[in-house]
């Protein structure tokens, strides 16, 4: 649905990565974390290419937290 003609288009870039992961497909937490980490890595590379330091820092924190979660499942 198109916005009303008087509305200003939203040109801001938004990156949505949930802080909570839902088991939607595999019900395997490690597989779900791996998929989320792969997506986050893609976003991280794009943010670094654009020199978006705020997003890069946020994604590094998010990825580190998810890696800690993944390691808690694998015992590594």
> How far, CA to CA in Å, does 29 sit from each of 11, 48, 51, 54, 71?
35, 28, 32, 28, 11
pLDDT by residue, tens only, the chain of 76 residues = 444 444 444 444 555 555 555 555 567 888 888 999 999 999 999 999 999 999 999 999 999 999 999 998 877 5
Rounded Cα distance between 9 and 64, Å, is: 34
């Amino acid at each position: 649905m198109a916005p009303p003609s008087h509305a200003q288009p939203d040109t801001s870039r938004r990156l949505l990565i949930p802080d909570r992961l839902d088991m939607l497909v595999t019900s395997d937490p490690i597989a779900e974390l791996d998929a989320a980490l792969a997506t986050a890595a893609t976003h991280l590379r794009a943010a670094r290419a654009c020199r978006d330091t705020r997003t890069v820092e946020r994604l590094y924190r998010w990825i580190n937290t998810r890696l800690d979660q993944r390691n808690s499942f694998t015992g590594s």
